[in-house]
Amino acid sequence: MIMQKQNTDRGFSVLELLVSMAVGLIVLGAAASLFKTGMDSTFLVAQRAETQQNMRAAIDLITKDLGQAGSGLPSGGVQLPSTTGANPVPTAAKFGCDQGGTCYVPAFNYPNNNYMYGIIPGWSNGVQGNAVVPATAGKRNDSITVIYADYNFPLFEYNVTFPLGPTGTQINLTPNAAFVPAPPAANAIGGIQLGDLILVNGTNGVSAVGEVTGVTANTISFADLDALNMNWSGPAHTKNNMYAVSGGGGYAFPLPAPGTQTQGTAYRLFAVTYYLTVPPAGQLPRLMRQVNGLTPVPVADNIVNLQFAYDIYNSNVIPTVLDANQPNPLGVAESPNLIQKVNLWVMGESMTPDGNKSQSMYLATSVSARNMAFRNRYQ
């Protein structure tokens, strides 16, 4: 009789399968959770790093301009045309505006009867069109305008002369033989362009600023009715304009000898305004940089708050004291000429604004206004 051999191999029971599957799912779930946590952390770190990098780029550019504030300006700044009783009476010059007449900050006139300082504080004046920045609604945003001479283009290597019978609408440029090689033409690439600001220091001790309305290789024009209201020509406006620099009749400086030309030197000025703009379609705000009368350019995305405060000597009290962290010097009648240090706060937000993935942070720094007025604290 042949006996059939029984199979002695045993399989898993249903209970064992369920237990093993449960344990496996727990292990996989833990691994997936760990992986997700790692990915979220990596994402957050990347967001923070990108936001910090963006803010640092913004701060580096602002501090570079702030470090040169007032450089090349006459001590204390420049009085722009302000004659009263003239016809027409000069209106306040503008900053933060382009050649098309668009002004990018809510208040865009030079303060204190048309005076150009090395730093013009813009307390609560920092968002184009007074738009609301949703991420920082209720917080103030400031602008700042920094003015300094541009030494990269050697306009100062020219001798400046006025045409005979000057009206203040043109200067002639002759290369100064002391500089070798000769400077490039005024209208060369990277040279003077429409909307630039030119500071002319006359040999009669007068200084004036004009907006370029025309330029050739050896001439710069300053026609009236310019976009920034800088140019007021002729003897009807005899103070603080190009006509005054020329020594024209009616000004309290000696007239040039008959048949001669008054000489001087010229520098291109940079009037740089920083402010925020809120783009359409729900995009985050951008930090903008606008120079002279030119078109502004974005310099950093996702900047949602911009604030400045100033360490400034308060000359309204005796003895003069240092007013630290003053956010609004003009509002309390303190002179921007006495700004010693600028304190800057920038807040950035990550590109993912929803939920707990959103990242926002502040960066702060301070910049010494080394070219501004000096006060001897030891006296």
Q: Do residues 197 and 271 touch, judged by C-beta distance below 8 A?
A: yes
| Residue 188 DSSP code | S
Q: How confident is the model at residue 75 (pLDDT cuts 50, 70, 90)?
A: confident
Query: What share of the chain has pLDDT > 70, as a percent?
Result: 83
> How far is the C-alpha of 21 from the C-alpha of 149, rounded, in Å?
76
β-pairing verdict for 286-291 and 297-301 = antiparallel
pLDDT at 170 over 80: yes
Q: How confident is the model at residue 251 (pLDDT cuts 50, 70, 90)?
A: very low
The pLDDT of residue 379 is 38
Single pTM value for the model: 0.84
What's the Rg (C-alpha) of the chain? 31
DSSP string, 53-70: HHHHHHHHHHHHHHTTTT
Selected residue with higher pLDDT from 245 and 50: 245
